[in-house]
Amino acid sequence: MAHDYDSTNIFARILRGEIPNKTVMETDHTLAFHDIKPAAPVHVLVIPKGPYVTFDHFAAAASAEEITDFHRTAAAVCALVGVAPGEGYRAITNAGAHGMQEVPHYHLHILGGRVLGRLIERA
């Protein structure tokens, strides 16, 4: 998969401060904010500030500092919103056409606050 980053995507615009977001947590390398259309009582998106399109792009190309910061922030978000320790949560990321990714800037969904059902429907 090519990883051409489209800097007009909505999360790039959020990072540039062009549109507002409901920030949960922010560090030098990472931003976490509430999903605008929550699919569960807890629905937070964690994004790197760097221009990465998908999980695999980020995991392959980001610096160790970015990768560590991203995951430490995601863990802190889980604690802050009360899902861990707690009743649990699901962390998912969509990539590309088959993953039905809507926004081409890597983001981790953290979902919780209710029983979430099975991971995916069987085809």
| Residue 6 or 65 having the CB closest to ligand AMP | 6
Supply the residues annotated as catalytic.
107
In whole angstroms, how close is the CB of 94 to ligand AMP at the nearest point? 4
CA 23 to chain centre: 12
**Which pairs with CB-CB distance under 8 Å and at least 24 residues apart come from 72-77?**
73/25, 73/27, 73/29, 73/30, 73/32, 73/46, 74/30, 74/32, 74/46, 74/108, 74/110, 76/25, 77/24, 77/25, 77/32, 77/44, 77/46, 77/110
Spatial distance between the Cα atoms of 32 and 27, rounded to a whole number of angstroms: 9
In whole angstroms, how close is the CB of 40 to ligand AMP at the nearest point? 11
In whole angstroms, how close is the CB of 36 to ligand AMP at the nearest point? 4
| Residue 55 or 67 having the CB closest to ligand AMP | 55
Instruction: Return residues touching ligand AMP (CB under 6 A).
Output: 10, 21, 35-37, 45, 94, 100-103
| Residue 50 or 104 having the CB closest to ligand AMP | 104
